Amino acid sequence: MSDFGDESTFEDTFLTVSRTSEGLYKDKSSKFFYFSFPVKNEEEIKNHLSDLRKKYFDARHHCFAWMLGKDADQFRANDDGEPNHSAGDPILGQIRSNNLTNILIVVVRYFGGTKLGISGLIQAYKTSAALAIEENEIMEEHLKTSVSIHFPYPVMNDVMKLIKAHDLQILSQEMTLDCQMELEFRKGLEELIVTSLEDIESLELTVI
């Protein structure tokens, strides 16, 4: 345990998926290609949706749901032409039941000629979303924050000790007449890290 207390008590943790997963589910000749992606913002979501629409341009439906934010307070479900609440909501339901966020699940459907009915559609999209999650890896993630620091060379050792002690990530650094760095770390450490940095002589700090 560090001098900064027990990091497990910080309320900056959430569950998400660690990578992209994909697969195929079939029901009465209809094909459901399912995908799950870890995402951080709506721009990433748009890019994934655009890529899938280009790849599966001849598919009848690209249904999806996503959630963002530690508290999952940003979300959307889209039926993309399927009957209301028969596709997007079942996908979103699987995200919620697994307590996930920062995730996008897309299910691309090719109609096989046999109608599934509303209940059949709901079950097919629910199953596809569940498989997309099951075949991925659920991981614990932390909210991050970053600071920009500017300091003279004589205090470099103090800065590096702090970086090493708390596993801070150096996003960028510039060494000229003096030193400038951008550091990233979990949100729960912000007050403690900022206070420690401010205690270093001649160091200037900006929270980004």
Looking at residue 185, which CATH number applies to its domain? 3.30.70.240
- Residue 114 has φ and ψ, to the nearest 5°, of -115, 120
Based on the fold, state whether residues 46 and 134 are members of the same structural domain: yes
pLDDT number for residue 10: 58
**Number of Cα atoms under 13 Å in the Cβ half of residue 198:** 8
Res 40 pLDDT > 70: yes
Res 6 pLDDT > 70: no
Res 3 pLDDT > 90: no
How many domains in the chain?
2
pLDDT number for residue 1: 33
Give one DSSP letter per residue of 124-156, joined into a string.
HHHHHHHHHHHTS-EEEEE-EEEEEEEE-GGGH
pLDDT number for residue 2: 40
Q: Which domain holds residue 125?
A: 13-140
- Which residue shows structure tokens 């096989």? 112
Question: Is residue 6, in this structure, part of any structural domain at all?
Answer: no
Res 5 pLDDT > 60: no
Res 8 pLDDT > 70: no
Assigned token pair, 151: 């300091």
Domain boundary residue among 140, 163, 179? 140
Question: Is residue 183, in this structure, part of any structural domain at all?
Answer: yes
Domain boundary residue among 140, 168, 193? 140
Average the pLDDT over 91-104 and give the result: 97
CATH of the domain at 106: 3.30.230.30
Alpha carbon distance 193, 94 (integer Å):
37
pLDDT number for residue 11: 77
pLDDT number for residue 122: 97
Lowest mean pLDDT among 69-73, 137-141, 179-183: 69-73
Based on the fold, state whether residues 62 and 25 are members of the same structural domain: yes
Question: Is residue 1, in this structure, part of any structural domain at all?
Answer: no
Based on the fold, state whether residues 161 and 126 are members of the same structural domain: no
Question: Is residue 3, in this structure, part of any structural domain at all?
Answer: no
